[in-house]
Amino acid sequence: MFNKEVDAKRALPTISPLDMPRHAVNEASHARKAKFSSHDIVTFLARLFVLICTIGLSWYGATEMYSVLSTNAIAGLQWLFLVLFCINFTWISFAFSQATLGLLYQLWPFSGRRKERDVDGVTAILLPVYNEDPSRIRANIQAMHEDIVKQASGKFAFFILSDTNKADTWVAEEQAFHSLLNDDSAACPIFYRRRYDNAERKAGNIAEWVTNFGNDYECMIVLDADSLMGAECLISLTRRMSADSSLGLIQTLPTIIRADTLYSRIQQFANHCFGPIYASGLAAWHGGSSNFWGHNAIIRTKAFADACGLPVLAGKAPFGGHVMSHDFMEAALLRRAGWGVRFDTDLTASYEEAPPSLVDVIVRDRRWCQGNLQHKAFVFAKGFHFATRLHLLSGIMSYLSAVFWLLLIVVGFALAIQAYFVRPEYFANPSLFPTWPVFDFEKARSLFILSMGLVLAPKVYGWLAAMLNIRRCLQFGGPILLTLSILVETLLSALYAPILMLAQFQVVYGVFKGKDSGWKPQSREDGATPWKVAARAHFGHTVFGVVLAGGALFLSPELFYWSLPISFGLILSIPLSWLSGGRKRGNVIRYFGLLRAPEEKRPHPIVVLQHRYSTDLAQPRFDAALPSLTRLMSDASLFYWHLAQMPADESNKAFCRAWICAEWQIMNSENINSLLDHLSEKECIAILQHRTLMRAMRKYLPDNKQVMENSNKEVFA
């Protein structure tokens, strides 16, 4: 049975619009809204430390490599090798400097807690979704909702903002969320909106909410589909924002949970063990000019509306068009407008999930790479803070570093081939003295050890920080399991690193060739990778590894051993990719107690609550195998609720082929099964988002469920 008045109810509050002007790439910066404080001195000293440490190490590495390459003068490809080495060495020195700063902050005993103040008004919690599993999202919302009602009733409101463009997933969302929605402002209302035109992707989804509803909410907390946050974290975010009127955004440090596969467990362990070290270093030198990661953060709504209308870049994709990695740019625009952007690493109960397999990471990297490379248009644009420019450069380098690493390997092999086949030209220049191509192998070995030390130091820092905190050490399983876990993580990361290097090189190459990555939903399932998929994804990597190892062995046994850390992982890329996904493979590591995260032994109450709801929803309440329209027409309550959410049709029927075809099919089909036999996906979507077509679909409802339009005008108003 259904109640037509309940089912006719809109799933959104009254519109309360905000203007959100679109900004240009080049604009003047605004005066900083925060007054000078002691935090600025600390930030300056932190930046000075990172700068001196990075420059000092880079200079030392460059001079040592110069000595390695030639005791007299550098000739030929050696110059190129030196330049590539300097770029790579500077990059790892920068990461090492930040990690070292983070360790110092972790061990500093006098760090104070951020100021907080009571909040007036309601904070919106935005949950953008795009073709995701709605049952997982529902479990997260139910857990957070219950926690909020207990601790901060009347202070928050959920908005599920759907950009889903698949008919089956759209109806599944409505089936999952319909019974969850409410407008109880005294507790915690939950609203739902599906956007018909998902222009500008997630950034456009958020902007559309801001322009329609943002005026009623002082702040908004932006989540991802896999985000989970405890009420105490949500409350602290709002109180901290209230305590500092100069802040535009506070980013939390999301902790990875629910990692069941081998690859996700590697990421989860690194996130728990080493992540706080890196994060503390970042927060220290970022100060009030930090970054935004797109989720698990609070934003001042009106500041966002005024400052964050993203520009449209000149040209076509992949470099032109709408900004893909919007989060970095939104933080940059807030900072340009004078608002502070802060990274608070001390807040707990902020969670996310990791991609389940290596293939899923590579798919995600395609999108992230294109978005980061787009930022080249802003690096030298007018009005941005120097820290912002460094954030953008770091994002670009996170992908170009793979290119520089691969080029370093290729040029190194070219030098080895040159030494093997080409007779040296000792008197290339008119001189009485020959130019000897000499390599100092002792210095080369020392420099290699130093490079590995810089790369591995953050892992040692994570181990040290955990060992000095007995409680934290025990959460990882104790000193022995912690040490073994770090060794296993280091070994596996070393095997996967060259595969990621080559994959990221291919991604960068594709972007520069003009390939658009598109917009694919993030995989959050088991992640089991079939052998065929792994072989297709990594056949080229395997061939490259075999050629690399074979060529090195032919040239020199010593070169073969030097290249083994790279070639070994590439040769094994197919089985390594297969091993990376799948719960059964991940459970082997879990069985031995390795790569354990603290949350696994003593999960936070919000994680326990989410697991309970997730278990309850494990058995679906509807048959997901049935077509979307079959499911919708079998539930009159859902049908009329769906109809009530629909806006009036625009008068563009003549230009919508799917609309015209769907209308003809509805008129000439005797039953729902006959209709579905002839409908395409686009025609299904057309029916679901046009009121005229949905009204016509009422003939497929059971006779006792049909409601005549003239007796139920409130439904169609």
Angle in degrees, CA 174, 175, 180, rounded to 5: 80
SS3 annotation, 191-251: EEEECCCCCCHHHHHHHHHHHHHHHHCCEEEECCCCCEECHHHHHHHHHHHHHCCCEEEEE
CA atoms in the 13 A half-sphere facing the CB of 644:
23
Interatomic CA distance for residues 299 and 237, integer angstroms: 10
Per-residue DSSP letter, 321: B
Taking CA atoms, 212 is separated from 13, 14, 192, 468, in Å, by 10, 9, 13, 51
Sign (positive or negative) of CA dihedral 713, 714, 715, 717: positive
How far apart (Å, rounded) are the C-alpha atoms in residues 673 and 671?
Answer: 6
For residue 192, the cross-strand partners are: 160
- Alpha carbons 310 and 308: distance in angstroms, whole number: 6
What is the rounded CA–CA span in Å between residue 573 and residue 15? 53
| Cα(305)–Cα(102) distance, integer angstroms | 33
CA distance 216 to 220: 10
Instruction: Locate 301 and state its tokens.
Output: 């709504």
Q: Supply 304's token pair.
A: 């966002």
Residues 640 and 8 sit within 8 Å (Cβ to Cβ): yes
The pLDDT value recorded for residue 433 is 54
Residue type, 44: F
Q: What DSSP string describes 502-534?
A: HHHHHHHHHHHTT------PPP-S-----HHHH
Question: What's the CA gap between 282 and 99, in Å, rounded?
Answer: 8
pLDDT in tens, 382-417: 999 999 999 999 999 999 999 999 999 999 999 888
Q: Residue 358's closest CA among 578, 544, 541, 570?
A: 578
Q: For the chain, how many residues are written? A: 717
pLDDT value, residue 694: 93
- Between the alpha carbon of residue 305 and those of residues 21, 59, 133, 215, the distances in Å are 7, 44, 30, 9
Q: Within 13 Å of residue 706, how many CA atoms lie on the same side as its CB?
A: 13
CATH class belonging to 15-431+441-492+598-625: alpha beta
Which single residue is written with the structure tokens 């061939």? Answer: 543
Continuous H helices in 645-680:
657-668, 672-676
Residue-level pLDDT at 36: 64
Give the pLDDT of residue 469.
Answer: 92
Q: Where are the domains of the chain?
A: 15-431+441-492+598-625, 633-716
Beta strands 350-352 and 228-229 are: antiparallel
CA-nearest of 272, 360, 258 to 590 is: 258
Q: Which amino acid is at 574?
A: I
Average pLDDT in the chain: 90
Instruction: Classify strands 123-129 and 219-222 as parallel, antiparallel or unpaired.
Output: parallel
Residues 459/489, Cβ–Cβ less than 8 Å: yes
pLDDT < 50 regions, the chain: 1-2, 5-6, 708-717
**Dist CA 9 CA 428 (whole Å):** 85
The two structure tokens encoding residue 584: 């059964």
Tell me which residue of 156, 325, 141 sits closest to 237, measured CA to CA.
156
Give the per-residue pLDDT at 267.
97
The C-alpha angle with vertex 166 and arms to 161 and 170, in degrees rounded to 5, equals 50
Q: How far is CA 356 from the centre of its chain?
A: 13
Distance CA 72, CA 437 (A): 8
CA–CA distance, 177 with 135 (Å, rounded to integer): 9
DSSP β-bridge partners for residue 249: 299, 341
- Residue 178 · residue 10 · CB < 8 Å: no
Q: Are 554 and 237 in contact (CB under 8 A)?
A: no
For the record, the structure tokens of 662 come out as: 């769907």
Cα angle for residues 289, 53, 343 (degrees, 5° grid): 25
- Token readout for 619 is 């058995």
Q: Which one-letter amino acid corresponds to residue 73?
A: A
Q: How many Cα atoms sit within 13 Å of 467 on the Cβ side?
A: 12
Residues 638, 110: Cα–Cα separation, whole Å: 57
Q: How many helices and strands (H and E) does the chain possess?
A: 30, 10
> Is the CB of residue 324 less than 8 Å from the CB of residue 371?
yes
